[in-house]
Every structure is written in C-alpha cells, then in structure tokens.
Amino acid sequence: MVSWFGRRAKRLEIPRLTGRGESLPTMKVDLGELVPPLPQFLGQAAYMELGVFESLAQAATAAPTVTVKGQLSRSAGLALAKHEALVGELRRHGSDPAEAMAPFAAELDAFRRMRAGATWPESLIGCYLTTGLLDDFFAALAVGLPGDTRSRVVKLIEQDAGFAVVVTEVTRAIAVDPKLASSLALWGRRLVGDTLLVARSALHVSGDLSRDESRIEPVFTEIIAAHTRRMDELGLTA
Amino acid sequence: MVSWFGRRAKRLEIPRLTGRGESLPTMKVDLGELVPPLPQFLGQAAYMELGVFESLAQAATAAPTVTVKGQLSRSAGLALAKHEALVGELRRHGSDPAEAMAPFAAELDAFRRMRAGATWPESLIGCYLTTGLLDDFFAALAVGLPGDTRSRVVKLIEQDAGFAVVVTEVTRAIAVDPKLASSLALWGRRLVGDTLLVARSALHVSGDLSRDESRIEPVFTEIIAAHTRRMDELGLTA
C-alpha cells in the first residue's frame, strides 16, 4: 500500500496495462468525503485550468507548423473555457474568483513551469499527462460537492480537452527520432510525483490518517492506471 | 504627403489630438479597391489574430496578479475567437486555412516577437497599439470584399477585443512610476513603423503608384489618428 502522507513512503508501483487505444473508463471510485469547501475546490480547479491554457498557448507559440499552432491554440481555448466555467461557478456561489484562486497561484505557477520541460515534446507531454491526472482527480473529488453543482462541475471537468493533437505530435516526433521514446518515457514517469503532490494538497483530510488513506488509495490507483493508459497511447513505457 | 512606397519618404507627421476618452469613430474612408484576393486577405488577418492570442496569453502568464492574469486570458480568448471566425470564413470559401495562413507566418511571428518589447508594460502596449492599428487597417481593407463576406468580416474585426485591461494596467504602472511615461511613449511611437510595414504588405497595389498613394494616404492618416487617440488614452504623448 502506498502512503499518500509520507509516513510509510515506498516506491510507487505503476501498473502496466496493454489495452492501447481503448477509451478511458470513468472513475469507479470517488473521493467525495475528502472534498474541501466549495470555494477552495473551485478556486484550485479554476486556477489549474488557467495554467493549462497558459501551457498550451506557450506550446502553440513554439509549434513547428501553422497547422499545429492552430490546433494547440484551439486546445488552449478549450482549457480557457473550462477555467471560465469554473469561475462562473465561483461567482454563482458568491465567491470572488481572484480571491478563491490566489492561495493556489504560487504552487500551480511553479508546477506549470516544471511541466514545460526542456523540449517541445516534453512540454506537450507535460501538459497532457498532468492535466489528465488532475482532471481525473478533480472529477473524483467533485463527487462530494453539493447538489446541482456536483453534476455541472463533474461534467465540465470531464469535457474533451482537445489533447488529440498532443498524441499525434508526440507519436510523430518519436517516429522521426525513435531514440526520443526512452527519455520521454522517463519524463512521463517523473511528472507523476509532482502531480500527485498537487492533488494531495487539494484533499480535505479528516485527520484519521489510516481511514483517509484507505479512501484515497483506490482512487489514486485508478488515476495512475489512467495515466499509464495515456503513456501507452503515446507509445511510452510507463 | 507621406509616401507609403518609400519613394518620397519623409518624416511621418502624427497628428496630436486632445479629446481623451472619446470613443473611436468608425473609419470614414476605405481601401476596398486595394483588397487582395479573399484567401490572402483572410489568411493574413487570421494569422494576425492568432498572434494577438499568443501575445495576450504570454502577457497573461507574466501578469503580476491573479485578477489581471484572468482578464488578459479572457482577452486572449477573444482574439482566439476572432482567429477562429476568420478560419471559418476561409473554410466557407473552400480554402485550406493552414495553407492560406502559411505565407504570412514568418513575417507575423517576427512582428509578434518585436512587439513583446523588453518589459511587461511594453508587451501590453505593443499588443494593444499594433492590434488597434491592424484591426482598423483590415476593417478598411475588408470593405472591398465581396457580398456577405464583407459585412461578416468587418463586423468580426471590429468586435471588442478586450483591451480595457491594458489601458487600466498601463495607466496604473505609470501612476506608480511616472518616469515610465516617456519611455513608453517612445515605444508607442516606435511600433508604428513596423506595423505600417505589415499593413503595407497586405495591399494589393495596382502598380500605378501615385493613384494607389492617393487612395492609401487618407486611410493611413485616419489610422494614425486613431493610434494617437489610443496613445492619449494611455496617457502617452504620441
């Protein structure tokens, strides 16, 4: 068993799945009981999506062709739309969006800079894999939100994020230079740790560590399994 | 008289207006006769708006507060929507958007890097003033487009571009450090030359230089007057 609280930290076991190309299943478990207060949840999720917009816009600027620049810009627009929908939820609940997001800015800005990596393919993978993980995580956590908000928020987090272009471009880059695969696989594995720290920071834990861990573990196992499928889809060994 | 073709080049006279805050009038003159073929016009305008998206997204990433980051991101989203609407026009007319935009990529990418300037206020002003000039210019040129396309394109180019945040932030930066005003004014004036070169490259000239110049001159005079009003609005001496 993995400890998310660092007490019994051991090497993370990442399951290796083989069903390349199969559609990602919806999470079967949820973290509803560990959801933080609504403004905190929405503030963190909204600022996270704003960072996805920034990362994708930056990747668009560095894109090698006009076609790919256009595709990545559209993906950035989808992330911006998610951000704005979450900001709309904050307003609907009487929260000031900037105030709700501000506590998460420093950590998520650093996280955004980290995932940019050193090369364009790394920046693409960095944005895709971390956003996949965090979207899955926030969707699992959103199950604990009250009433109507829950279904609206889960639905908008699960919207298509326009990452098909990333899969296409990374696959193309590896086809051109097969040696890339091992360094990109390493990069994909390295991203997991920092991403789980961001996820961990969003949990509203009860204080009963062993009880919390027993709730968290199956969700994180599923989240890691979905990450592994994304790596697989990119042709990378997880 | 200013020569736009470099034969009788002389110092550009920029009129100094005083009516700060007055709304910018619609262009009274047009360049309709000098409009290039439709795919060329739409390709250049679409790529220009994609560059505005990139510049604003970059300015959002460098924004000093969460509030301003959110505002600049929304402005970037508006530029992206303009880009996508122009791409939609290209598709509607059977053009491949990437193919139509590609001839303008190198020049407009260099132009985007130039206007980023050396500081955050310079990048804000760089994007605002050049986009204002080019939107005015493309709107004047679009008058020569055929039928329905004309009204749709003019309308979408003239859409609010969400630059109010730029005016607010630049004014705030100057209030904090009044010495900024003179260097930013210089920057605002320097931007005009390169921007008019981009505009110039879009004109489908007849070859009769003096006839072309007599059409172009009143339009560029109005475009410069509108630029001067934007400088004025920012508190900068044009």
Is pLDDT at B84 greater than 70 in this prediction? Answer: yes
Give me the pLDDT at residue B22, please.
Answer: 41
Going by pLDDT thresholds of 50, 70 and 90, the confidence category of residue A22 is very low
Q: What average pLDDT does the segment B15-36 reach?
A: 59
| 3-state SS string for chain B | CCCCCCCCCCCCCCCCCCCCCCCCCCCCCCCHHHCCCHHHHHHHHHHHHHHHHHHHHHHHHCCCCHHHHHHHHHHHHHHHHHHHHHHHHHHHCCCCHHHHHHHHHHHHHHHHHHHCCCCHHHHHHHHHHHHHHHHHHHHHHHCCCCHHHHHHHHHHHCCCCCCHHHHHHHHHHHHHCCCHHHHHHHHHHHHHHHHHHHHHHHCCCCCCHHHHHHHHHHHHHHHHHHHHHHHHHCCCCC
> Å from A220 to nearest chain B CA?
30
> Å from A93 to nearest chain B CA?
18
Whether B15 is covered by a domain: the verdict is no
Q: What average pLDDT does the segment A9-25 reach?
A: 42
> Å from B32 to nearest chain A CA?
28
Q: What average pLDDT does the segment B17-30 reach?
A: 49
Q: Tell which of B66, B74, B75 to mutate to test the A interface (max A CBs under 10 Å).
A: B66
Give me the pLDDT at residue B154, please.
Answer: 94
Q: What average pLDDT does the segment B91-101 reach?
A: 97
Give me the pLDDT at residue A172, please.
Answer: 96
Whether A202 is covered by a domain: the verdict is yes
Going by pLDDT thresholds of 50, 70 and 90, the confidence category of residue B212 is confident
Task: Check the CA dihedral A29-A31-A33-A38 and report its sign.
Answer: negative
Is pLDDT at A149 greater than 70 in this prediction? Answer: yes
Share of chain A above pLDDT 70, in %: 88
CA angle, A83 then A85 then A86, to 5°? 65
Distance CA A32, CA A43 (A): 17
Whether A184 is covered by a domain: the verdict is yes
Is pLDDT at A150 greater than 80 in this prediction? Answer: yes
Residue A134 CA to its chain's centroid (Å) = 3
> Which tokens go with B222?
């109005």
Give me the pLDDT at residue B74, please.
Answer: 97
Distance CA A102, CA A60 (A): 26
The tally of CA atoms less than 13 A away on the side-chain side of residue A41 is 28
Is pLDDT at B13 greater than 60 in this prediction? Answer: no
Task: Identify all chain B residues contacting A73, using CB atoms and an 8 Å cutoff.
Answer: 50, 53-54, 80, 83
Q: What average pLDDT does the segment B223-233 reach?
A: 95
Whether B57 is covered by a domain: the verdict is yes
**Chain A residues with at least one Cβ partner in B under 8 Å:** 47, 50, 53-54, 57-58, 60-61, 65-67, 69-70, 73-74, 76-77, 80-81, 83-84, 87, 97-98, 101-102, 105
Give me the pLDDT at residue A23, please.
Answer: 44
Give me the pLDDT at residue B214, please.
Answer: 84
Is pLDDT at B171 greater than 70 in this prediction? Answer: yes
Whether B14 is covered by a domain: the verdict is no
Q: Which of the pair, A91 or B211, is modelled with greater confidence?
A: A91
> Which tokens go with B56?
């604003």
> Å from B58 to nearest chain A CA?
7
Is pLDDT at B50 greater than 80 in this prediction? Answer: yes
| Structural domain boundaries enclosing A61 | 32-233
Going by pLDDT thresholds of 50, 70 and 90, the confidence category of residue B130 is very high
Q: What average pLDDT does the segment B129-158 reach?
A: 94
Give me the pLDDT at residue B27, please.
Answer: 54
Whether A25 is covered by a domain: the verdict is no
Lowest mean pLDDT among A69-73, A140-144, B1-5: B1-5
Distance CA B27, CA B65 (A): 36
Task: Please answer yes or no on whether A47 and B66 come within 8 Å at the CB atom.
Answer: yes
Query: CATH no. for residue A112?
Result: 1.20.1260.10
Is pLDDT at B167 greater than 60 in this prediction? Answer: yes
Nearest to A213 by CA among A223, A198, A228, A203: A203
User: Would the pTM of this model clear 0.95, i.e. be above it?
Assistant: no
Report how many domains make up chain A.
Answer: 1
Check: complex ipTM more than 0.90: no
Measured in residues, chain B has a length of: 238
Q: With 0-12 CB in 10 A as exposed, 13-18 as middle and 19+ as buried, what is B1? A: exposed
Share of chain B above pLDDT 70, in %: 88
Whether A65 is covered by a domain: the verdict is yes
Give me the pLDDT at residue B161, please.
Answer: 87
Is pLDDT at B67 greater than 90 in this prediction? Answer: yes
Residue with token string 């600049």: B72
Nearest to A220 by CA among A141, A154, A157: A141
Give me the pLDDT at residue B213, please.
Answer: 84
Is pLDDT at A19 greater than 70 in this prediction? Answer: no
pLDDT digits (tens, 9 = 90+) for A105-138: 999 999 999 999 999 999 999 999 999 999 999 9
A221 backbone dihedrals φ, ψ, rounded to 5°: -60, -40
Give me the pLDDT at residue A27, please.
Answer: 54
Task: Please answer yes or no on whether B102 and A66 come within 8 Å at the CB atom.
Answer: yes
